[in-house]
Structure 1
Amino acid sequence: MSSLSLTLTGAAREAAENQVPGLLDHEFASRLAAKDHTLWGVEAEDEASKRLGWVDLFEGSRQLLPQITALREELAGEGVTRVVLAGMGGSSLAPEVICATAGVELTVLDSTDPQHVASVIGADIEKTVLVVSSKSGSTVETDSQRRIVQQAMTEAGIDAQSRTVIVTDPGSPLAKSSAEAGVRAVFEADPTVGGRYSALTAFGLVPSGLAGADLESLLDDAEETLAILAEDDADNPGLRLGAAIGGTTPLRNKLVVVDAGSPLLGLGAWIEQLIAESTGKNGTGLLPVIVGDGEPELHRDADDVLTVQIIDVDAEDGTSVDNDVADLVVSSHKVRTGGSLGAQFMLWEVATAVAGALLGINPFDQPDVESAKVAARGMLDAETPESTEAEVDGAVEIRTLGSSALTDADTASLQAALKALLETVRQDGYLAVMAYLDRTSEHELESIRAQLSSLAGRPVTFGWGPRFLHSTGQFHKGGPHIGAFLQITTESEGDVEVPDRPFTLAKLIAAQAAGDAQVLADHGMPVLRVHLQDRQAGLTQLIDTVEAL
């Protein structure tokens, strides 16, 4: 049985009351359910006409379930019980939350950090099936990960093709090459569903089902919820949430997302990608700021911030766990929502479509993601981006680029550089920490997010590179240019070759970081690049320096 809860207060409630009547007049909900591609304006019509398959995907998705179950049983019979998923953005974030919430193990490979990738291929390769998820197969990270894992299998005496499962669009280059190579299975996804709306297509279902998640209940809950979201009704939670996040006046474009005891593990990261990549364009958009459990966020009452609490609607006393975080949430401008995972997937997808219409943008494209990819390709054969001369302090190398407010400042020490960066954070802006490290073994670095937020008095996001490039990276470049950026890179003690490619992972991740930094700087925003010359010593120095501030 699907469950869904939504409560709005303050500016969120006011926005819903102001905007929902107009949405009802336009019959937005029923027209969306009918896949009306004109809802987002003339400029968006072409893209929207190809990207609305997510509103009626249930029959096609259910047809996949017997095939997924049969394949899982086959693999288990061969002793293959570990699922490694190579995919970026929407191809990995939905399976990650589905499996975490279901309590089943899924190894997500969405990094180009050599240390992280080496740890994945160095564990239980004999029990591993590789799921490669990519709409085209051309995503450089996913292609590199596929080559590396398959080579590790071959070196272990395993027929790599028999351990490879492909999820892609029909007729894609990856579908054709995989069929020719004789992989274990090719699952074709609905090509009319964009990556970040693909949670309930083959992209979300295949890796999750192979890992053992309950897919039937997930689809049942989602379909039941969509029936409610398709109604032109003033109480429609999709219309109300979309209006709350996209219709405040002035726009509260920082969404501080708080896990308030939700059993939906990792949902915030999925919401972050869906909203940031869908709305961050044409100089506007919404920036989710994911706050860890128990972290204070002192600026939540700022007039450009809206708090989003993901609650547990099945708490034993029948209420949410609001009281547990009451001392952390000072804002009266809140969205509180909870329920089953399938219900939340549909709620946020509909709300994002609504918010896109209110913001006057196309929620189905991602024009600025490509800019970082192009820059990274250029950096593979180029020198480091234009920046100040490097300063060295202990185990870290410091460079600045972009805004003269930073490049002209004193950055001779790490402490001075961080102070200078904090001084560039605008009163209507934010700071983004972008860490090109190993998110599994170096997660202690995330502690600096809350500390920097307290120092800046503004929202601070934390993203692991390169995965954030497929998420908040779109907002950074396509949204309002109000960000300041702390980029953290490192020397790798070991490297990983990419078979049949003219680069290693160390070179690739360095190019991705340098390319992104250059694009941000070209937009005139301040970028502080901190390079850990000694990985562990530099990491410790950085954390200690932030604490000392």
Structure 2
Amino acid sequence: MAIKVSTSGSASAAAKRHLDRLVDDKFASRLFAEDATLWGPAAEEESSKRLGWTKAAAVSEPLVAEILALKESLAEKGVDRIVLCGMGGSSLAPEVMTRTAGIDLDVLDSTNPAQVRRALAQDIERTAIVVSSKSGSTVETDSQRRAFVTAFEAAGINPAERIVVVTDPGSPLEQASREAGYSVFLADPSVGGRFSALTAFGLVPAGLAGLDIAAFLAEAQSVSEELAQDSTQNPGLLLGAAIAGGEPIKTFLGVVADGTDIVGFGDWAEQLIAESTGKEGKGLLPVVLDTDAPEIGLPIPDLQIVRLVANAADTPAVGDEINVSGGLAEQMLLWEVAVSVAGEVIGINPFDQPDVESAKAAARELLDATPEPEAPVFEEGNIAVRGTSSVVSGQSDVLGAIEALLAQLPEHGYVAVQAYADRIGQPELAEVREAIAHRARRPVTFGWAPRFLHSTGQFHKGGPRVGAFLQITTNESSDLAISERPFTFGQLIQAQAAGDATVLEGHGMPVLRLELTDPEAGAQQLLEALRNV
């Protein structure tokens, strides 16, 4: 399948505004030649260390035999369940790769104690885990690894036989893993996490789970030459210019699966685009939408709809939309190119993430200080309410607080619904997004936490400060200890929620925090209230 991009209306005008210049500047060929000067002097140092993804499909080929050999070795020991412990790009790429192929891969990208406990309880005797972390210091991933070590030892299993590590060369995790006897795969340090789908971070967990990774790499390699061409027909240049070249720019990118056979692509694209472009008060924020989402039928002039279709040549875009088609590996490389183009058009460095650390630092501070929990402003049924004083002051019911939050939504703003909850056990919480969108009549994103902190969290703090934030946390009935750590999973996820809220409020944006004191009953209460409005 070849990649196709079709634009219409204002999207075509946005592309036309920049395509000739991008071709004249030889942007595509310079990108694939790893020219770090494309985004200006301020970005050059970081860019010079982050362009290895352009050659990842070829560079990663030697990994295939090593991954398949390990898969065979694990199978001989009766291991046929793979759990991925990772965050952000380290988890989202393998998840969409395996879901699209119809292959089982358990992705643990949460610190919610119920979700972690569920992953530990399933067939531990048949389980191996992949621990993915570029830096080796990601607190979520380290905590998940510790939990599995405890579970393996309790089951009489040597953890060294069941733990596979993917990290950058020279990271603290590499040294500790080799000392522990784990299998270690080193990733290309010249590739950032959100661009790492075609490196060890994508290939190791997906390959161990059963994906044909050799074919996957070959598919990506098949479009590399086309994407490196300095031509107005280059789909990467066209897509990048179309999503970023509007005057004024369309900040919100509605990603709609509409006939594609790719499963979950929007979640992967969300972290790639938002974390790459959301900085210096600028950026693009993807909004993952169904075909009947409220936003599609509303007059939202700063929302650009992108449809993922079966074949954009047969179903060209209409209105002001963009249609994109192609295989998953092809589209991953296509969108990486498009985001690099978008960074140049917007005038930012697409390879750094200067605001991601702020929420992590705030969470660490809360874990170190272990303050008493903040008392709720009020409680209604199974929901305890906290938040920015301008939102919750004078309120006495949940719907009133939600209305007060939406009343503070700027004219060109968005709402981010953030669920610090068990996404496997409580998928119904995602329904909150559409209910809020009907009322807000503006773009509404939904993110499972804490994984969104490693993706759209950058846009929330670094992009245009026009967000209103609805946090949903859960008070789980039982907590889970973390070996050799002074905090539990429950304390960790609560600190992450409170820390992010503090940073958002510090940037002058409103936050409403709803704690479901009984997770199941609280979720039903919230959804019922929203449905009845």
Aligned length: 533
Q: Contact 2:376–2:384 at 8 Å: present in 1 too?
A: no
- Aligned partner letter, 1:476: H
* Cα drift, residue 342 of structure 1: 1.1
Equivalent runs, 1:33-44 vs 2, <5 Å = 33-44=32-43
The 1-side partners of 2:23 and 2:296 are apart by: 36
TM-score computed with the length of structure 1 as normaliser = 0.94
- Aligned partner letter, 1:394: G
- Aligned partner letter, 2:358: S
Which residue does the alignment assign to 2:213?
215
Secondary structure of 2:104's counterpart equals coil
For residues 118-156 of structure 1, what are the alpha-carbon distances to aligned partners after superposition, in whole Å with 9 as ceiling and x for unaligned? Answer: 000000110001100101210000000000011101101
Q: Does 2:411 match 1:422?
A: no
* Cα drift, residue 60 of structure 1: 2.4
For residues 244-276 of structure 1, what are the alpha-carbon distances to aligned partners after superposition, in whole Å with 9 as ceiling and x for unaligned? Answer: 111111010100111102111111100000000
Q: Does 2:167 match 1:168?
A: yes
Q: Alpha carbons of 1:193 and 1:482: their partners in 2 closer, same or farther (altered >3 Å)?
A: same
For residues 486-532 of structure 1, what are the alpha-carbon distances to aligned partners after superposition, in whole Å with 9 as ceiling and x for unaligned? Answer: 00111111111110111000000000000000000001101000011
Which residue does the alignment assign to 2:327?
340
Equivalent runs, 1:477-488 vs 2, <5 Å = 477-488=461-472
Q: Alpha carbons of 1:241 and 1:74: their partners in 2 closer, same or farther (altered >3 Å)?
A: same
The 2-side partners of 1:449 and 1:34 are apart by: 42
| 1:465 corresponds to which of 449, 455, 459 | 449
Q: Contact 1:385–1:515 at 8 Å: present in 2 too?
A: no
Q: Contact 1:261–1:321 at 8 Å: present in 2 too?
A: no
Q: Contact 1:99–1:208 at 8 Å: present in 2 too?
A: yes
Which residue does the alignment assign to 2:97?
98
Equivalent runs, 1:437-476 vs 2, <5 Å = 437-476=421-460
The 1-side partners of 2:158 and 2:387 are apart by: 47
Q: Alpha carbons of 1:479 and 1:256: their partners in 2 closer, same or farther (altered >3 Å)?
A: same
- Aligned partner letter, 1:541: Q
The 2-side partners of 1:365 and 1:525 are apart by: 23
* Cα drift, residue 441 of structure 1: 1.5
After TM superposition, the structure 1 stretch with the greater mean CA deviation from structure 2, 109-118 or 7-16, is 7-16
Equivalent runs, 1:13-162 vs 2, <5 Å = 13-162=12-161
- Aligned partner letter, 1:34: A
Percent of pairs with identical residues: 52
The 2-side partners of 1:383 and 1:479 are apart by: 30
- Aligned partner letter, 1:400: G
For residues 22-49 of structure 1, what are the alpha-carbon distances to aligned partners after superposition, in whole Å with 9 as ceiling and x for unaligned? Answer: 1112110010011000000111000000
TM-score computed with the length of structure 2 as normaliser = 0.97
Q: Alpha carbons of 1:109 and 1:201: their partners in 2 closer, same or farther (altered >3 Å)?
A: same
The 2-side partners of 1:393 and 1:271 are apart by: 37
* Cα drift, residue 384 of structure 1: 6.5
Which residue does the alignment assign to 2:269?
271
The 2-side partners of 1:447 and 1:64 are apart by: 40
Q: Contact 1:84–1:107 at 8 Å: present in 2 too?
A: yes
- Aligned partner letter, 1:137: G
Q: Contact 2:253–2:286 at 8 Å: present in 1 too?
A: yes
Where does the alignment leave 5 or more consecutive residues of structure 2 unmatched?
none
For residues 179-204 of structure 1, what are the alpha-carbon distances to aligned partners after superposition, in whole Å with 9 as ceiling and x for unaligned? Answer: 11111x11111000000000000000
User: Could you list the runs of 4 or more consecutive aligned residues of structure 1 that deviate by over 4 angstroms after TM superposition?
Assistant: 383-389
After TM superposition, the structure 1 stretch with the greater mean CA deviation from structure 2, 287-296 or 209-218, is 287-296
Q: Contact 2:298–2:441 at 8 Å: present in 1 too?
A: no
Q: Contact 1:298–1:457 at 8 Å: present in 2 too?
A: no
Q: Alpha carbons of 1:216 and 1:435: their partners in 2 closer, same or farther (altered >3 Å)?
A: same
* Cα drift, residue 303 of structure 1: 1.4
Secondary structure of 1:112's counterpart equals coil
Q: Contact 2:166–2:187 at 8 Å: present in 1 too?
A: yes
The 2-side partners of 1:293 and 1:69 are apart by: 38
Equivalent runs, 1:256-405 vs 2, <5 Å = 256-292=254-290, 294-298=292-296, 300-313=298-311, 319-320=314-315, 332-382=319-369, 390-401=377-388, 404=390
Q: Does 2:507 match 1:523?
A: yes
Q: Alpha carbons of 1:300 and 1:228: their partners in 2 closer, same or farther (altered >3 Å)?
A: farther
- Root mean square deviation of aligned Cα: 1.7
The 2-side partners of 1:537 and 1:262 are apart by: 36
* Cα drift, residue 217 of structure 1: 1.7
* Cα drift, residue 450 of structure 1: 1.1
The 2-side partners of 1:313 and 1:144 are apart by: 43
Secondary structure of 1:337's counterpart equals strand
Where does the alignment leave 5 or more consecutive residues of structure 1 unmatched?
323-330
Q: Contact 1:4–1:343 at 8 Å: present in 2 too?
A: yes
Q: Contact 2:392–2:404 at 8 Å: present in 1 too?
A: no
Secondary structure of 2:169's counterpart equals coil
Which residue does the alignment assign to 1:328?
none
* Cα drift, residue 334 of structure 1: 0.9
The 1-side partners of 2:267 and 2:453 are apart by: 13
Secondary structure of 2:96's counterpart equals helix
The 2-side partners of 1:372 and 1:482 are apart by: 18
- Aligned partner letter, 1:504: T
For residues 392-449 of structure 1, what are the alpha-carbon distances to aligned partners after superposition, in whole Å with 9 as ceiling and x for unaligned? Answer: 11111111217x3x254x3211111111112112220000000000111111111121
- Aligned partner letter, 1:359: I
